[in-house]
A and B are shown apart, each in its own frame.
Chain A
Amino acid sequence: MNLGTRKVVDRAFSGLGVTSIVLLAAALVVILAPMVLRGTGAFVFRGTVEFRRLEFEKFGRGNPDRLKAEQAAAIRARKTVYDMLKVFPREIEQREDAFRAEKRELRKKRRAARDADVAEQPERKAALDRREKEFDGRRERLDRQKADFEEVHKLVGELLGPPPGEELHAVWDKQYGQTRWDGVEKKVVLLTKIDQWVQPDDPQQPNYLVRTPRAKLYEGTALAGLFDYVEDHAEEMFLPKWTFYWRFLTDTSDSAHYFGGIWPEILGTIYLTLGSMVFAVPMGVIAAVYLVEYAKEGPTIRVLRTFTNTLAGVPSIVFGLFGAVFFIRTLHLSEGKSVLVGSLTLALLVLPMIIRAAEEAIRAVPRTYKEAALSVGAGKWRTVVTVILPAALPGILTGIVISMGRAAGETAPIIFTAAVSVGQPLNLGQVFNHPTPALPWNIYNLCTEHRAVDEIRHVQYGMVLTLVAIVLLLNLAAIVMRARISRKMRS
């Protein structure tokens, strides 16, 4: 090949490499961006008066006087809605009475027509048929309105919360309306528009969505004005204000995560992570010391290494099954799932990582340190404890921090050993026999098994952001530590 061509090929090759790196960075951005952007929505959002009411009533925060004033203003704005809702059933009753009367009249006419002259009959019958058809149309419309009204009632309840003066439901999410302005906007759309999936004539094509204003269904009734009113006066009814809700991290929530924070999950994750380290760190460091300082090259060390690698390759879900069968059903460490069992399972999972990191750190300690210690008469054990381990400590810590990130983010091993979807924050004494909610499991749980997945997207994103932030901060710490070590080593 010609030299110039070879050069071009070389450049092209480098170009391919750089492209792959760019794609990698793009993948990272594509994955992190939605988490960060929408995750912040759990912390920073436009809170409504309902949010401030919740804050005050459940957590005792906020200024009661101002809240009272706001609430009064909101109730004033909402009164029109409640009035319309109250009037409409009466209107339905009246119209139903009118319909019954009309029906009777129609029947009478029909009978009269049957008795009348034979010659006139076809004409009168046709007229009657027309009238009856029109009547049926109106009647059916009323029925549709009646059925739809229940939906409207439900939606208004979800939007505004229970009407003032009504007895409060025991569950939080039935006590309050929409606490977030984006939730209000979504509910307003649901309230003012009717979505309908239409199947096209060609069954190969996918169904498509048709959206009609709900006001059309209620044209000419007392409810017709409701939808425009809600749309136009939503701000007055909710008084949205930008809120920085950092207590999302430290608040508990009601059972279904509609409101409140994610403290139980965070605490559970902290317990599981630290718990797994309690077991894994001593074992891992001792194993590394043995592998580097004591074991002689040979079959023992080969077998040990092979088994460590095998342990590292065991799928995480299998760890979960093993933890459930061994720690719970064989050793009976606790009656069911518990933080203890989850920690032990996670410890097994991160053990190979810690062994490897500690091994590398110990190996990186210069020989001269060891020789100096031995030459002043320290025994082997003493050399290890007083010279080698302190020198290797930063490296070992780096490995531990990375494994903590791994343990915090693992889901599959804790499904059968430690995690529950609903729970209160545990205290230290309950760790041995209580399961706990934990961030990774609850993320999964909330976005697959929750009854209103779409309404609590912000909580899911907030949880994901929190978990990713925890893990990435740990890794960042490790990166910084490693940079410092390598700088120290070079100088």
Chain B
Amino acid sequence: MNRGDRGLILSRRADRLRRLGGLFGHGLLLAVTSSSIIAVLFIFFFIAKDALPFFRTEGLREFFTQVAWYPTEEPPAFGALAIFFGTAMVTVGSIIVAVPLGLAASLCLSDILPFALRQLVKPIIELLAAIPSVAYGFVAMVVLAPLLQEQGGRVLAVAAWIVGTPLAAISVIVLSDVAGNAVPKPFRKLGRIVIGLLLGLVAIEGLATLSGVLSKVQIVTGVNALNASVILGIMALPTIISVAEDALQAVGRELREGSYALGATRAETLVKVVIPAAASGICAAVILGIMRAVGETMVVLMAAGGASHIPEPWYNFFASVRTMTATIAAEMGEADQSTGSAHYHALFALALSLLVISFVLNMLSEWAVHRAQKKLRGE
């Protein structure tokens, strides 16, 4: 290569050498680059290799439809339905926490905050993303769980106030303004204030009733689906925010300015123009958030409780649940002692299911991103 680089006049030999060198280099680079392909294929292959014996001997039926998971008993039972349900439950919970908050935050970051403030807020999100999962799990288990167990009702009531107050305040302001329009003009200002005060009282009354009901709730165990969901939601937030913000940014100035030119306010522009244009990208953000929650191990291992049953009733977030990742992490230690046992292969079957789920979700998000790009290009 170096010889060829030196001059522009090349002998035929040097030329050929150079081209060969180039090809070789290219090949080498390609080989290294495809290591991620090889890694993915190998991961699928080796996980499937140890999972298939389980499906071959035990079949699919029990694994996917039964609730009883007693892998070490005699005879063992490998019903993973409750474990799947646990994963689904904490994932849904975390999405309920993370999506509204993440979406509002990403809108705020991309369109509402001025540049200087944005530079201050970004590090917050980066720090949230950087905190290791085991530290989140530790907080969930050592700080949050005892708090929920001893003061469960009060914690819920405080949370209701924290989330409810701004929402109530904003809706009171908007509603009183709307209602004020009905008042004849000379008294309009006064009418708005009176209606606002009345509505505010109603809202405070409503919140007080709600927190009163919540504060009577008794939580039996602090390590439960709620705890894990909240923490997982916080962990999924940075992913959702950064991807959704990218999607919102990608919409571009022209659409926004067009909307403003038509006389729309910022909120109208965002809701009616920017969000629809970025919908696919926002979808991708939510899917990535779900992936983060599904694949997370330490938090659910430490904070979800680990009882493999479907809660009673099924939406009871105060019950402890167990997820696929937590099952693998908790039981592989014992199963490892007897490599090749049915338990060992059953855990690999769980891992394979996990892998397939995240693969499908990943494909979905890729597809969403692809669609978003196509849409923005105007195809």
* Residue among B267, B328, B351, B365 with the highest chain A CB neighbour number at 10 A: B267
Binds A, one of B64-72, B77-85, B123-131, B312-320: B123-131
Interface membership of chain A positions 372-415, coded 1 if the CB is closer than 8 angstroms to chain B and 0 otherwise: 00000111111000000000000000000010011011111001
Binds B, one of A22-30, A51-59, A220-228, A250-258: A22-30
Q: Which of B101-157 contact A (CB under 8 A)?
A: 101-102, 104-105, 107-109, 112-113, 121, 123-128, 130-139, 141-143
> Is A431 an interface position by the 8 A CB rule?
no
Partner among B26, B133, B178, B351 whose Cβ is within 8 Å of the Cβ of A5: B178
CA distance A6 to B33 in the complex (A): 53
Partner among A304, A321, A416 whose Cβ is within 8 Å of the Cβ of B34: A304
Chain A residues with CB below 8 A from B266, complex form: 10, 13-14
Q: Which of B265-312 contact A (CB under 8 A)?
A: 265-268, 270-271, 288, 291, 294-298, 301-302
Binds A, one of B55-63, B205-213, B250-258, B355-363: B355-363
Q: If the complex has contacts A290-B30, A313-B295, are A479 and B126 also in contact, measured as CB distance less than 8 A?
A: yes
Interface membership of chain A positions 301-335, coded 1 if the CB is closer than 8 angstroms to chain B and 0 otherwise: 00110111111011111111110111001100000
Binds B, one of A80-88, A127-135, A236-244, A468-476: A468-476
Contact status A287-B294, CB under 8 Å: no
Contact status A290-B29, CB under 8 Å: yes
Q: If the complex has contacts A12-B174, A326-B46, are A318 and B137 also in contact, measured as CB distance less than 8 A?
A: no
Chain B residues with CB below 8 A from A16, complex form: 104, 166-167, 170
CA distance A355 to B42 in the complex (A): 19
Contact status B134-A440, CB under 8 Å: yes
CA distance A325 to B167 in the complex (A): 51
Smallest Cβ-Cβ distance to B295: which chain A residue: A315
Contact status B237-A15, CB under 8 Å: no
Contact status B4-A321, CB under 8 Å: no
CA distance A325 to B44 in the complex (A): 12
Contact status B32-A290, CB under 8 Å: yes
Smallest Cβ-Cβ distance to A288: which chain B residue: B33
Q: If the complex has contacts A313-B361, A325-B50, A443-B135, are A479 and B355 also in contact, measured as CB distance less than 8 A?
A: no
Binding site for A on B (CB under 8 A): 1, 4-5, 8, 22, 25-26, 29-30, 32-37, 39-40, 42-43, 46-47, 49-50, 100-102, 104-105, 107-109, 112-113, 121, 123-128, 130-139, 141-143, 162-163, 166-167, 169-171, 173-174, 177-178, 181, 218, 220, 234, 237, 265-268, 270-271, 288, 291, 294-298, 301-302, 325, 328-329, 332-333, 336, 339, 347-348, 351, 354-355, 358-359, 361-362, 365-366
24 interchain pairs, CB-CB under 8 A: A5-B174, A8-B177, A12-B267, A15-B169, A16-B104, A17-B112, A24-B125, A32-B127, A206-B220, A287-B36, A304-B34, A309-B365, A311-B40, A311-B43, A313-B359, A316-B296, A321-B347, A324-B336, A325-B50, A378-B5, A379-B4, A409-B134, A443-B135, A447-B138
Binding site for B on A (CB under 8 A): 2, 4-21, 23-28, 31-32, 34-35, 206, 282-283, 286-287, 289-291, 294-295, 303-304, 306-311, 313-322, 324-326, 329-330, 348, 351-352, 355, 377-382, 402, 405-406, 408-412, 415-416, 440-441, 443-444, 447-448, 457, 460, 464, 467-468, 471-472, 474-475, 479
Query: A20-B102, A320-B329, A402-B130 known; 20 other A-B pairs, CB under 8 Å?
Result: A8-B174, A14-B112, A21-B121, A28-B124, A34-B139, A286-B33, A294-B26, A309-B365, A317-B297, A317-B351, A325-B50, A330-B46, A355-B36, A409-B131, A409-B132, A409-B133, A411-B297, A416-B332, A460-B138, A464-B138
